Amino acid sequence: METEPEGSARYAEARPPATVKAGLLRSASMQDVHAAQNAPGRSRRTSVIGMTALGALQGVCCYALLSPALAGTLRGFEAVMWMMSLMLVMTVPLLWYFTENLLGLSTLRRVAIVAVLGLIIPIMLTTEYTVMQQREFPQTSSAPLIASAVLAFICLPLLAHLRHGQQPGRGLQRTVSGWHWSYPDLFQTTWRNVIAFSTALLLALIGVLLLAAMAAGLRLVGIGLIGQILFQPATLFAAYATLFGAAIGLLLAKGTWLIAARRFLLARKYLLPLAVGTFVIWTLVKLQTQQPPPQDQGISALLAGLLTLLLVAVNTRYQDGLELAKPSRFARIRMICVCLLAIAALGFIALTLIRRVNEHGWSANLVWAVFIWVLAAGYLAGYAAGMIATKRGWMWSLAPTNIAMGAVLCVGVLLLATPLADARSLAAQDQIQRLLNGDTPAASFNYEALARNNDRYGRDALKYLSQLDPKVPNGTAIIAGARLALDITTTKSDK
């Protein structure tokens, strides 16, 4: 698969003639020109009324679903189906918003993408809900939520802008055929959805606060019925969904505002290399001075922060939509230094991960930490190769790396956050294997932590250990410890 080349006639034709004649290429972003052509009035016009109606429908459905749940009437299978319905109601409209007014996306394909992701995300969240039912203190795991965000903001643009056909090559006489991505479209869609979603959340919150203030004012003058109705959680959720639909509809209708907001955010790019360098140095110091080694969750957080800063720093440095823009020599040296610091940090973190696995085995957080480490290494390798290839524009040098690693990210989170290859299941299996092999002494093995840290998978592991053959090495001690921990966790979950 190939990305669209820098010599694409499509974008050459999109270039404003007056701008080209004036030589103001750097002040007129190709991506902004493309977005302006794709704005309402040029393509499918965004219907603010339709978005508001969809938000209102979502709010009514949420109100109907949340009311019986708050009354505590749902149990067992009914509770699972309620969660599935609630996740569907919350997910499908949001995906429909994100696919609004995308260039080259047919209605049939749009419906297919929304249907597929609109089923995967609710099933994933509902599965997590069933897994967490046996926990001592029920709470939502962050892994499915992160995976849902990745699918909505990264996987959706990848699916929407994957195309098949012939496209101009580097020269106008050459063509490339087959499946390919339009990286400028990916770039624009991702930024648009992130900015519109974040801003709509804030605007809807302001709207709900204004409604609450109005209800409080009416209560002061003796009209308390509106306040009683409004301050119910289900009513607030319904009002918020309606206001969110109206807000995101207005934002998507203002394509020029989204472009201005994106360019304003990209203007902060000069501070990001400094932030990355500071974070890397702090990470190295923390890993070298902390005794004992940082916990698995701390390692995952460090890696996630490092990867996020690295991606934002590199992708905002020259990502203004100009496929011909090239970094200066000083900028290349600065970014290479940042990458070298990041590579050094990854090396130290790799040593910490290896030592942690050898001493204590795998845990769910450690599995996620290794996955994030692989992502960071892939991005660093791809960006380093893109910096060397100076003959191509900066945007097209980053395109293959961002597309490939974006696909890896989507597949990875979909596996690790679902029963297909759940990180907790992998960790529980590894802990059992270490115990049976004698790598971890049966007397010092924390059986209760096996269930506490791995939820249902840990409890299943305890059940397996409690039914072992006593003739296996340390079988009697393992069976006794597993049964005791199983009784303790069962008692706590029943309280």
Q: Which of 7-11, 169-173, 379-383, 384-388 has the lowest mean pLDDT?
A: 7-11
Taking residues 446-468, report their average pLDDT.
Answer: 84
User: What pLDDT, on a 0 to 100 scale, did the predictor assign at position 173?
Assistant: 43
Residue with tokens 């643009």: 157
C-alpha 336: how far from chain center: 27
Number of alpha helices (DSSP H) and beta strands (DSSP E) in the chain:
20, 3
Q: Name which residue leads in pLDDT, 205 or 13.
A: 205
The runs of H, that is alpha helices, within 267-328 are 272-289, 296-317
Q: Which of 101-110, 171-180, 397-406, 427-436 has the lowest mean pLDDT?
A: 171-180
% of the chain beyond a pLDDT of 70 = 73
User: What pLDDT, on a 0 to 100 scale, did the predictor assign at position 21?
Assistant: 33
Q: How does residue 106 score in pLDDT terms, banded at 50, 70 and 90? A: confident
Q: Is the pLDDT of residue 95 over 80?
A: yes
Q: Is the pLDDT of residue 172 over 60?
A: no
User: What pLDDT, on a 0 to 100 scale, did the predictor assign at position 393?
Assistant: 64
Q: Is the pLDDT of residue 142 over 80?
A: no
In angstroms, the Cα distances linking 286 to 68, 346, 347, 354 are 49, 13, 14, 17
9: tokens are 């006639």
% of the chain beyond a pLDDT of 90 = 16
Mapped onto helix, strand or coil, the DSSP state of residue 162 is strand
User: What pLDDT, on a 0 to 100 scale, did the predictor assign at position 320?
Assistant: 54
Residues 6 or more apart in contact with residue 358 via CB below 8 angstroms: none
pLDDT tens sequence across 247-297: 998 888 877 777 777 777 777 666 666 776 777 777 667 666 655 555 566
The runs of H, that is alpha helices, within 318-393 are 329-360, 364-388
Cα three-residue angle 240-241-247, rounded to 5 degrees:
85
Q: Is the pLDDT of residue 481 over 80?
A: yes
Q: Give the DSSP H/E element, type plus range, for residue 318.
A: none
Q: State the greatest distance between any 2 C-alpha atoms of the chain, in Å, as a whole number.
A: 86
Given strand 2-3, what is the order of strands in its sheet? 2-3, 175-181, 162-168
